[in-house]
Structure 1
Amino acid sequence: MRFVLLIDSLVIVSCISLMPCVGKAQTDAVINAKPIAINFNSLPTNSTDISFLKASELVYCAYQGGLLQQGIPSGGTLVLKTLNGNILAKDLVRAAVNANKLPAQVLNDQNYLNSVGLQLEALPDEAALD
């Protein structure tokens, strides 16, 4: 049982560690001689200047208490509620939208929601390192 937990933890840490590398591996695009970055932080709209918090930044913000006024607990309480399934990625994103930290369109961005979900799954391991 402990071996399986160790393997799962290593896979999660590896995925989190490789995420920034994948983002950097994407090439920059140029529109009207203006470079734009194509990544998870750009909304699929006609505007190329819209950007927002990365999933890891959002989860860290919540962990540090940045969404307390929206009903998202911080620290260990956030970790426990995440483990119990009481707080899901959509809840965190909705709270960030209500706090004007994210645009409302992000609620329909399944890639972003999946990224936040992965970060929430890794949160207990990350919190244990504190």
Structure 2
Amino acid sequence: MKGFIISSLSALVLTAVSTSAVHAQQTAYNPAVSENASSNVARITPVDLVNAAYRGQLENQGIPSYNDFHLAYRARQINAYALVKSAIQSNLLPSLVLNDQSYINAVATQLDVFRYE
């Protein structure tokens, strides 16, 4: 009987400790830290972004596809910044990429290469 009481109390203490740890993790959640962590994880390359836009994956954000994509770029109706912003709205990129000038420049370079294809 004494062993049963001790094992029951041990199980009760372990349950209480693990429940406290779960609640502590929930209250310590910081969206800013989570946003920073995700910016390094799921990042579409500039080449893939331009190709996705060309194939129509950003049409819901007002980016035309196929031949209209070429025409809009030549007429300066779309640019690298617009593509990045549209990709963020489509959840293809995290919002922090909008502040990454090297990424935007790489998209612009890819757009220039794509224009001559």
The TM-score bracket by the shorter chain reads 0.5 to 0.7
Structure 2: give runs of 5+ residues left out of the alignment. 1-35
Any runs of at least 4 consecutive aligned residues in structure 1 with deviations exceeding 4 A, and if so which?
45-49
Amino acid at match of 1:116: V
Aligned to 2:8: none
CA RMSD, aligned part only? 1.7
TM-score (norm 2): 0.65
Task: Encode CA deviations 1:25-73: one digit per residue, 9 max, x unaligned.
Answer: xxxxxxxxxxxxxxxxxxxx56795231000000000000110111100
Aligned position for 2:103? 112
Residue 43 of structure 2, aligned match among 33, 52, 59: 52
Question: Which runs of structure 2 are paired with 1:111-130 in the superposition (5 Å)?
Answer: 111-126=102-117
Q: Per the alignment, in what secondary structure is the counterpart of residue 116 of structure 2? A: helix
Q: Number of residue pairs matched?
A: 82
Q: Which whole-Å CA distance do the structure 2 matches of 1:58 and 1:122 have between them?
A: 13
Correspondence for 1:30: none
| Identity within the alignment, % | 39
User: In proportion to residue count, which structure has more helix?
Assistant: 2
User: Structure 2: how far apart are the matches of 1:119 and 1:62?
Assistant: 12
Larger radius of gyration: 2
What TM-score results when the alignment is normalised by the length of structure 1? 0.59
